[in-house]
Structure 1
């Protein structure tokens, strides 16, 4: 490793410069001088988030199996505000950012648009012939085994599906647990943090099991070579189609176009959810669910030019790489750490494990039936649905030594997570309204 790669640069800044900024912000908050508007709130939320992220990404085991800096930022924020260590006016300001300004929805808009448009068009179209059924197989297996485990511990099938299966199989944290909590709040009127605090606990437990079982499946593949494509191929016959988009140069105008496109898709989702078709069969459909459907249709049709697709992906990458810390701190502010600790019980651990095993079995069986190698299908369509999204995909594929299948893993996190949001929108409306 070169000396340059060893240098710590939080957010691209020299460590001393970033540290100086954080000290200034904390001093301003401690004296009450920091404003409670968007600028002041963002400054304090990022200061807390960056510090926790840098520490969390360097803690052994935690950084690989628990979720690293993002989860630490959430937990530390919940601790700070549960015990009133930070002045209440700043807690209120952060709640304003998350609720009144609705930064959460703003964040999700760009995540949905960029993640779906980033998929190769041919991969998006051909995936529906085989890979999407494999994802549904994983969802079905996760639901069945999760419900069976839930019955053992006295958890109703409805609660298992809504509070366990959906967040675990939702495509990770930013693409799954966060928007699911927003849909939950919209449907029930209860705070999103009340759903998220439990969802992130179950998701974190499941993420550990997903990584560990990926390593086990790698060993199974070594013993049964006919069950795997050795990490380079998913389809048993007929070749592969997991290719990356060609490199496209993105201008500042392209970023502006992608920005406008994303908020336009959101407006379209709102138009259908609030005016044109708010319910289907009596079930309310969330604007994000509509948005996912329309973005997927446009992406498959090839309407959006490559430069705008690339720009949308770049915007999405910026939000998920940097502004996710604001989300984690903001959700932590409205979370009671004492209630969170109560969620880690033997029953929850067993149910999370059952969901992961169900995802493996279901995606392997359906994957085999549609012409995939069962082990590779289980890893990509199963475990890459039951982990923490992008970072979880890398951890799972790394443990399975199948990084060549990253396009399929991303398909699970993006479209698979979108499918879960649609299902969640329907189930929340049907059972919790």
Structure 2
């Protein structure tokens, strides 16, 4: 509970008076009963206002209405997942916030106006990239500089080892099941490790269309469900790893890859010393670094989030901004982590997650190969990370992101694992690892197999 909450809850919770006034009872409801981060009365009001717009047949797609709409549905789905028995503690909130909306859209249970407005808003604003840039920059600015250097250098070792073992295990399991080795590698294993949709599935489908003489739509239809199932498996495993960390605290750094490190300035950032202008500066820092990443993409083709990540690391290592702005960026990071994650996942589920394709890929053979591959990859990351002196659970959760559905998958996986501070390393695993896998595999396909 934050200091601002304490200022209101102390009078009626600790005063010792058995009879509360009507005003205090109302305050207690506002502060104690919540759906996600939304006080219950405000949540009900949002639902009523959205319902009125839907009955009138038009839900505006502007940012004001969409903030309320995405918050209402996103936190409702996330809260439902959190309250599920057993699986609620294993990443079900992130899964529900993403896949329940997708199912509701497919079965026509979500009003058309909500679907249309959400899809239009998501695709026209690129809000996911605003979320990712604030999370990446904020988490980097809160890292210990020594840890940052050591973490970026060491994380590649468990990543590479995990991919090699994951590929070998996946191939072995698939061949044992009687599947064609070519299909196993290029249409199951490679999509899992391709880095998501935009940087993985789509380039793969273009490559397959050219090299295998098949329609790109057909290729994408085969690849995309595997990407989503691999990400779903990684979300579940990340949730399990989070629970493992709670049971065996010596195996985790709770978001820190290296033992003996600590987050810089985090206490100061929430001590009340950071004013509004400092927070605004922290947000602007994230946006400008992303714009530099976009410039890098135009000049050398490096994905904008990766370029932004490197620029943020450079700023941190060279003391490029003052400690107060570092603190401001940490507050922005915390805000997006707690208040924007589930609304973003809801928008992703509605706009770009095709339910039917996911269901069609749910064959026994596919599931066994996918689960075996992701489990082997993550397990290898766990033990290799431990061997080289890193926190094994945190390394394993980053390894989960190697099977993620791009940026959206990273958000869901790190939410399930309660390790959003690992987003910079997750982006390395997803973007760089995926790009290398796709490029090398298509090169092999073009020169040796076709």
TM bucket, shorter chain? 0.7 to 0.9
Aligned mates of 1:217, 1:57 — CA distance in 2: 18
Task: Tell me whether 1:418 sits opposite 2:428 in the alignment.
Answer: yes
CA positional deviation for 1:114: 1.7
Do the aligned partners of residues 198 and 98 (structure 1) sit closer, same or farther apart at CA in structure 2, a change above 3 Å counting?
farther
Tell me if the contact between 2:251 and 2:393 (Cα under 8 Å) persists in the aligned partners. Answer: no
Tell me if the contact between 2:46 and 2:69 (Cα under 8 Å) persists in the aligned partners. Answer: no
Deviation larger for 261-270 or 108-117: 108-117
Query: Among residues 373, 379, 400, which one is paired with 1:386 in the alignment?
Result: 400
Tell me if the contact between 1:141 and 1:363 (Cα under 8 Å) persists in the aligned partners. Answer: no
Q: What TM-score, normalized to structure 2?
A: 0.71
The CA RMSD over aligned residues, in Å, is 3.8
The aligned residue for residue 63 of structure 1 is: 88
Aligned mates of 2:165, 2:156 — CA distance in 1: 14
Aligned mates of 1:426, 1:363 — CA distance in 2: 22
Deviation larger for 195-204 or 264-273: 195-204
Tell me if the contact between 2:251 and 2:391 (Cα under 8 Å) persists in the aligned partners. Answer: no
Which structure 2 residues correspond to residues 209-228 of structure 1 after superposition, within 5 A? 209=237
CA positional deviation for 1:104: 2.1
The aligned residue for residue 261 of structure 2 is: 242
In terms of Rg, which structure is larger? Answer: 2
The aligned residue for residue 316 of structure 1 is: 333
The aligned residue for residue 324 of structure 2 is: 307
The aligned residue for residue 106 of structure 1 is: 130
Tell me if the contact between 1:364 and 1:378 (Cα under 8 Å) persists in the aligned partners. Answer: yes
Aligned mates of 1:121, 1:266 — CA distance in 2: 21
Structure 2 SS opposite 1:32: coil
The aligned residue for residue 19 of structure 2 is: none
The aligned residue for residue 380 of structure 2 is: 361
Aligned mates of 1:80, 1:147 — CA distance in 2: 35
The aligned residue for residue 119 of structure 1 is: 143
The aligned residue for residue 197 of structure 2 is: 181
Tell me if the contact between 1:135 and 1:412 (Cα under 8 Å) persists in the aligned partners. Answer: no
Tell me if the contact between 1:79 and 1:337 (Cα under 8 Å) persists in the aligned partners. Answer: yes
Tell me if the contact between 2:252 and 2:394 (Cα under 8 Å) persists in the aligned partners. Answer: no
Do the aligned partners of residues 108 and 211 (structure 1) sit closer, same or farther apart at CA in structure 2, a change above 3 Å counting?
closer
CA positional deviation for 1:295: 1.8
Q: What TM-score, normalized to structure 1?
A: 0.73
The aligned residue for residue 177 of structure 1 is: none
Tell me if the contact between 1:140 and 1:362 (Cα under 8 Å) persists in the aligned partners. Answer: no
The aligned residue for residue 91 of structure 1 is: 115
Query: Among residues 331, 347, 355, which one is paired with 1:337 in the alignment?
Result: 355
The aligned residue for residue 399 of structure 1 is: none
Tell me if the contact between 1:273 and 1:290 (Cα under 8 Å) persists in the aligned partners. Answer: yes
